[in-house]
Structure 1
Amino acid sequence: MSLPILRVAIGMLAVVLLIGAVLMASGRTGVLPATQSAPDSAPPPPVVAPGTQPIVANGIVAPATHVDLRFETGGIVRDVLVREGDVVQAGDPILRLDTSDLELRCAQVRAQLSAAQAQYELLAGPVAPADIQRAQAVLARARAHLREVSGAVTPTARRAAQARLEAARVALARLEEGPNPADVRALRAELRQAEAELRATHDRLSLEKTTLRLQMEQAANVLRDRQTEYARIRDENQARTEPLTADQRVREASARLAMENAEKALEQARVAYEAALQAERTGIAAAEARVEAVKARLDRILAGADADQIAAARAAVAQAEDDLARLQDERRAALVEIARMEVAIAEAELERLLAGARPAEAAIARARVEEARAALQQAELALERATLRAPITGVVAALNIRPGEVADPHLVAARLADVRGWRIETTNLSELNVTRLREGDPAIIRLNAIPDLEIPGRVTSIKPLGAGQEGDVTLYTVIITPDRLDERLRWNMTAMVQITPGR
């Protein structure tokens, strides 16, 4: 047989063998021709009870615990103390506002508290023995003087009267001679000091007033923003035809609360600004009055004594001469009366010191101490709130603010997550299926990002409030906790859960 004929025979044999193999395979698998029906002995498909059919839903991965951090007050962010991904412990500082004004306020209130405590201790505490001793000494001198002027004229009394007369004559001679160069230099130095204090007072009080005015304007701007935001949210809710969701109601209530807080902040800023304005007027007026007083004294010295001053000095000389003459003539009735008055005054002062402060005065001083202490606590609390601290141990998941930006108390500044545990939150579980589920139902978790991973878990929570709607169907959130963890899990990963309802 030739080679071409042999090749054709081998090919035909292979085709016959292939067709035979196909027919044999069809017979084993029960595939019948189209004109025949399946044998009556074929088993029916398995039937699954409706109540145990698995429920499949989409979800997202979330940490078991997470918290959003917001500043309680507005301000300029000074320090960002962490980075995203850092692990922080509970109590660690995360963000800090500029605290210059708050620290200054604390220092001012501490000074006010110290002054109030000193005043209270002065009134409520026992009188210092030195004060009583001084009052007793004054009384003893007054009584001695009374005895002196009441008795016979002594050489001592004559010498004292003579000394007073000589002093009056010296004062008259100084007025008639003109200004003393030393006095002029001293007054000019005092005037320069008073003018410097006036400038310093003006600059300090003006700065305080300007700072508080800017704070008041900032508070007014914040209030306008809060009013606008609240009006917008309220109008949107009123325009809705369907019932408001819990989130929508909470959002409107939060906006209203933010507006009310902004109104209170504006009122506080206005009161502080008005107080600073009054303090500026009073402080500058007092400093200017001191400058004018020193100028007047200097002008009087430079102008020399006028006729009235010289006349008053001459009258003083005449009075001293008359006093001396009365002592010499033993006409001392007026001196005795004056001495008795001095004794009465000294006795009254000593009695007041021995009796102590009146209860009403001590109570007022005590109230001022408590007021200053409360103000200090409030200032220190405001300073502490300027630092945002971690309430839990976890990972910094997000930082939404940078140094130099203005912190808004209504916006999330940072987000922390405790990634030592995870959970799956469903996103599209309908009301038609949620009624079939119970806490403890088993589930299988599959991650879209990790297709080869299946994690068993269980339903641990079914939120009673619907999370939204999809068409006419309300969606609910079910929490599935995995039985084990995988280090590849990340927040907000998409997942598919297959839950088997319990019977």
Structure 2
Amino acid sequence: MKERTRSIARYVIPGAIIVLVVIVTIWWFSSPSRSIARSPQQDVRSTTVSRGTMQVTVSVSGHLEPRSSVDLTFESPGEVAEVAVDVGERVSAGEPLARLDTRQLAVQVHQAEAALEMIEAQLAQAKAGPRPQEVASAEANLRAAEAQVNRAAADLAQVTRGASEAQIAAAEAQVAAAELQYRVTLIAHDRVMQQTEDSTRREQARNDLYAAEKALAAAQAQLDELLAGADAESIQAMRANLAAAQAQRDAAQAQLDLLKAGATPKQIEELEGQVAQAQASLAMAELALERATLRAPFDGIVAAIYITPGEMPPTGLPAITLLDDSAFRLVAQADEMDVGQLIPGQSAQVTVEAFPDV
């Protein structure tokens, strides 16, 4: 056992001596006095340790986008009449950019206005009641219808009684006058045919003779009808004329009575409904006319134009693109290692490569 102890001491003691020598050597070379001795001109500074905030910078790259942009489209079909701007041009809110041909739309607006004015006038007249001149006109129509009834009744009575001696005498006088006129015209016709070859005069003579023959035939037919008396068919026609005249008189009387009574509440309600419908039609026509012109919804820059004058652009497709350049936003993607350093609302410093001085 003593021999084993002496063997361990023989190895441990020299090892401890070596470790001690290494420690002393490190202390000697790292000693401040030794360093000063080796570098007498070296500047030595000291400071007090304190707690502070460490600034961590996260750098990302991305691209700038305008705050908003809009594609303007025509909501109704039509031919492009004018494009009032160019790409890159700055425009103000409400400024016209392009328009369609509005001639037909303007006509539709005028028609809607006229229809509204007419129905409004009818409603006002219904509420105000009949005017004196309207009553007078209706009364005149009634008197005319009554006169027509009297004439039709007189004609029927005459046909039923037969012709009087005075009527027959008058008809015979008309036949005699027509015969005399025919003879004179025939003599003139023969003279022209014998004495001239002028085609115009010869044609005129033939036309005059033809007219004289027709007049004589009509006068003779009237005389024959009076002498023969009315047949059953003529009497039936006269009765039909009298019935028609009486119907017209009754309608005129009803119109006068209705005019004097004024419009009923139901009629006024119907007219008010027609006015509302006409107003809606006018509003739709005016809206279609207004939408035929594209206007800038905000101040901005024209980014693109997809239409040209004279074409028929499809409805629903972009016609002009407008950008709002009053403000921009930066779209960037941060590394997942830096996401923990970012919080909403943090301020950031942005530099643009194209404009380094901005």
TM-score (norm 1): 0.37
* Alpha-carbon distance change, 447 to 347 in structure 1, aligned in 2, over 3 angstroms: closer
Alignment of 1:50-69 (within 5 A): 53-69=56-72
Give, in angstroms, the shift of residue 313 of structure 1.
Answer: 8.2
Matched, 1:101 2:104: yes
Offset of residue 366 of structure 1:
2.7
For residues 425 and 435 of structure 1, what CA distance do their matches in structure 2 show? 18
2:75 to 72, 76, 79: 72
From 369, 372, 384, the counterpart of 2:278: 372
Deviations 1:263-292 (A, max 9, x none): xxxxxxxxxxxxxxxxxxxxxxxxxxxxxx
**Corresponding residue of 2:349:** 444
Question: Which segment is superposed worse, 365-374 or 405-414?
Answer: 405-414
Give distance in 1, aligned partners of 2:117 and 2:225.
47
Match runs of 1:216-235 below 5 Å: none
Alpha-carbon separation, structure 2, partners of 1:312 and 1:360: 59
Amino acid at match of 1:390: A
Residue 86 of structure 2: which of 83, 103, 106 is its match? Answer: 83
Superposed, which structure 2 residues align to 1:203-282 within 5 Å? none
What is the identity, as a one-letter code, of the residue corresponding to 1:376? L
Partner of 1:362: 268
Q: Measure how far apart 1:60 and its partner are.
A: 1.4
Q: Which amino acid aligns with 1:126?
A: G
Whichever residue aligns with residue 73 of structure 1, its letter is S
How big is each residue's C-alpha offset from its partner over 1:365-385, in whole Å with a ceiling of 9 and x where there is no partner?
A: 332222222111101101101
Matched, 1:419 2:325: yes
The one-letter code sitting in structure 2 at the alignment partner of 1:89 is S
Q: Deviations over 1:420-448 (max 9, x none)?
A: 3333222x446775565322223232323
Matched residue SS, 2:61: strand
CA offsets 1:156-186 (integer angstroms, 9 cap, x no match): xxxxxxxxx98xx79x969x969xxxxxxxx
Determine whether 1:407 maps to 2:309: no
Match of 1:383, SS? helix
Which residue number corresponds to residue 125 of structure 1?
A: 128
Note the C-alpha offset of 1:356: 0.8
Deviation of 1:118 after TM superposition, in Å, equals 3.7
Higher strand share: 1
2:202 corresponds in structure 1 to: none
- 1:383 counterpart residue number: 289
Instruction: Give TM-score, length-normalised by structure 2.
Output: 0.50
Q: Percent identity?
A: 34
Change in 2 beyond 3 A, CA 1:134/1:52: same
Question: Where does structure 2 lack aligned partners over 5 or more consecutive residues?
Answer: 1-53, 147-165, 180-212, 231-246
Confirm or deny: 8 A CA contact 2:58 2:341 kept in the other structure: no
Q: 1:116 aligns with which of 119, 122, 133?
A: 119
How far apart are the structure 1 equivalents of 2:293 and 2:324?
21
Q: Distance in 1 between the 2:93 and 2:115 partners? A: 35
The gaps in structure 1 that reach 5 residues or longer are 1-50, 144-164, 179-301, 319-340, 454-485, 487-503
Letter of the structure 1 residue corresponding to residue 290 of structure 2? E
Counterpart CA distance in 2 for 1:420 and 1:344 is: 77
- Aligned with 2:349: secondary structure? strand
| C-alpha distance in 1 between matches for 2:284 and 2:223 | 61
Equivalent position amino acid for 1:439 in 2: P
* Higher RCO by CA contacts (8 Å cutoff, separation 6 or greater): 2
**1:465-487, CA deviations, whole angstroms, 9 ceiling, x for partnerless residues?**
xxxxxxxxxxxxxxxxxxxxx4x
How far residue 88 of structure 1 moved from its aligned partner, in angstroms, is 1.8
2:345 is paired with a residue whose SS is coil
The match for 2:14 is: none
Q: How far apart are the structure 2 equivalents of 1:82 and 1:121?
A: 48
Alignment RMSD: 4.6
Change (3 A) 1:345 1:402: closer
Q: Which amino acid is the alignment partner of residue 278 of structure 2?
A: A
Q: Which residue of 2 aligns with 1:213?
A: none
2:36 equivalent in structure 1: none
Q: Distance in 1 between matches of 2:127 and 2:218?
A: 50
Give the CA deviation at 1:81: 0.8
Provide the aligned length of Structure 1 versus Structure 2: 231
Q: Deviations over 1:30-58 (max 9, x none)?
A: xxxxxxxxxxxxxxxxxxxxx97544333
